[in-house]
Structure 1
Amino acid sequence: MKTDELIELLAQDAAPSWPYRAVFLVAAIGGVVMSALVFHSFIGVRPDFDRALETVRFLFKFVLTIALAVGATGLALTMSRPGARRGRSLKALAVAPVLMAGAVALELAVRPSGTWEASMIGHNARFCLTLIPLLSLAPLICLIAALRHGAPTQPGLTGAVAGLGAAAIAATFYAANCDDDSPLFVALWYPMAFALVAAAGCGLGRRFLTW
């Protein structure tokens, strides 16, 4: 089944009698569940997951991705409701970049400069740029289908923000597999993967959210 057909089908199946916020929430949860199933079925957590849970840098990745997922999906919902104020949603979205900037600054302060490049390049860049977009497919399709029940005045931008949220959901799962925990690695490669999904979301938004 093509992506276009799947989005149309999901949009038709969502009960129009439901409040729009409920439709969006169900779609978001459905996307998270499907992404989780794909991750646990085909990827799985890193071998030293239990030991990694005891480290701050590993746990920080989840704080960052969850904050971004909540902020971006919340903003996408707000953008699909004409007249809704975006101030609070924009502030929520800004949390993740602020946290990332602080973590990078701390990492540069405590680690010798000779280790910066190696920490930034890591050894999982290819997987990061591949697995995050793949794991984001289900959340992105679900969010776009839900947004069709709203009335976004900026369909491309709304789709891009939804793509950012989907990528952050995917990155939350991918972070459990990735053993590059340095904020320098996260700050370089994760945004590249996010940009790919946001671009796809922009295209889908222009295609399906224009009214």
Structure 2
Amino acid sequence: MNTDDLIARLAANAKPVKPVVAGRRAMLWLAFAIALLTAVVLWHGLRPDLPLRLDLPAEQIQWLASVATGVLAAIAAARLAEPGRPTAWALLPVPAMVVWVAGMGWGCLADFARMGADALVLGTSWSCLGFIFGVGTPLLAVLLYLLKDGASLRPGRVSAMAGLAAAALCSAGLSLFHHLDAALMILVWHGMAVALVCCVGAVTGRLALAR
């Protein structure tokens, strides 16, 4: 077959390619994730001290920053899954994440000023780790499934952003019904759980999307 015949045959059988609309799918995932976490929070019941905690500006900023991190990470994952988008989209959730972590760090200092050395006593909270990992991992899988059409172009970055989105929203939801004694425990256990979900996304997501 000569080149002209090959081109003619390919052109005759060509089908239109649907553009990747990852942004819509990310919005759909955010609606699903927020609805799921809202149901879980209502099922567990809000913390008795939640109104008092949210009266503190530092607590408000910390919680809003965790939600913003999750939302912006989901948007970043969607943009990175679209062909031709710059990799700089991976930086989108970084400012919110810095505020989130800084807020927890400020809470540690405030607890130390109020409680003294007792604030540095680090207990265990496997329930924190279990909730964020147990709920965050399925949410991560759902987001990767919705973005799979384009996510294979940058599997590592998309998966890491998807993991951060799921874990950050789970952390925000958990803080509404689960009480920890000190900000240091929140920083360690929430941070450990978020990092674990991000690592699972970056590793297993890369392998799954590559296939």
Q: Which amino acid aligns with 1:20?
A: A
Identity percentage of aligned residues: 25
Q: Which amino acid aligns with 1:19?
A: V
Q: Secondary structure at the match of 2:77?
A: helix
Q: Secondary structure at the match of 2:201?
A: helix
Alignment RMSD (CA, Å): 3.0
Q: Secondary structure at the match of 2:176?
A: coil
Aligned pairs for 1:187-202 (under 5 A) are 187-202=187-202
Give unpaired runs (5+ residues) of structure 1.
1-15
Contact persistence 1:157–1:202 (CA under 8 A): yes
Contact persistence 2:112–2:119 (CA under 8 A): no
Q: CA deviation at 1:163?
A: 0.9
Q: Residue 130 of structure 2 aligns with which residue?
A: 130
Rounded to whole Å, the distance in 2 between the matches of 1:156 and 1:70 is 19
Rounded to whole Å, the distance in 1 between the matches of 2:78 and 2:63 is 22
Rounded to whole Å, the distance in 2 between the matches of 1:175 and 1:103 is 12
Using structure 1 for the length normalisation, give the TM-score.
0.74
In structure 2, relative to structure 1, the CA distance for the partners of 1:167 and 1:156 (3 Å cut) is: same
Question: Do structure 1's residue 34 and structure 2's residue 43 form an aligned pair?
Answer: no
**How far does the alpha carbon of each residue in 1:175-197 deviate from its partner, in whole angstroms, 9 at most, with x for none?**
10232375433332211001221
Does 1 or 2 have the higher relative contact order (CA < 8 Å, sep 6+)?
A: 1
Rounded to whole Å, the distance in 1 between the matches of 2:20 and 2:155 is 22
Using structure 2 for the length normalisation, give the TM-score.
0.74
Contact persistence 1:144–1:205 (CA under 8 A): yes
Rounded to whole Å, the distance in 2 between the matches of 1:99 and 1:137 is 21
Rounded to whole Å, the distance in 2 between the matches of 1:149 and 1:135 is 24
Aligned pairs for 1:50-65 (under 5 A) are 50-65=51-66
Q: Secondary structure at the match of 2:47?
A: coil
Rounded to whole Å, the distance in 2 between the matches of 1:153 and 1:200 is 18
**How far does the alpha carbon of each residue in 1:46-75 deviate from its partner, in whole angstroms, 9 at most, with x for none?**
122233332334323312211211232122
| Number of aligned residues | 194
Contact persistence 1:66–1:172 (CA under 8 A): yes
Give unpaired runs (5+ residues) of structure 2.
1-17
Aligned pairs for 1:30-109 (under 5 A) are 30-41=32-43, 43-87=44-88, 89-101=90-102, 104-105=105-106, 107-108=108-109
Contact persistence 1:67–1:95 (CA under 8 A): yes
Q: CA deviation at 1:90?
A: 0.6
Rounded to whole Å, the distance in 1 between the matches of 2:153 and 2:163 is 17
Rounded to whole Å, the distance in 1 between the matches of 2:42 and 2:75 is 26
In structure 2, relative to structure 1, the CA distance for the partners of 1:109 and 1:129 (3 Å cut) is: closer
Q: CA deviation at 1:102?
A: 5.9
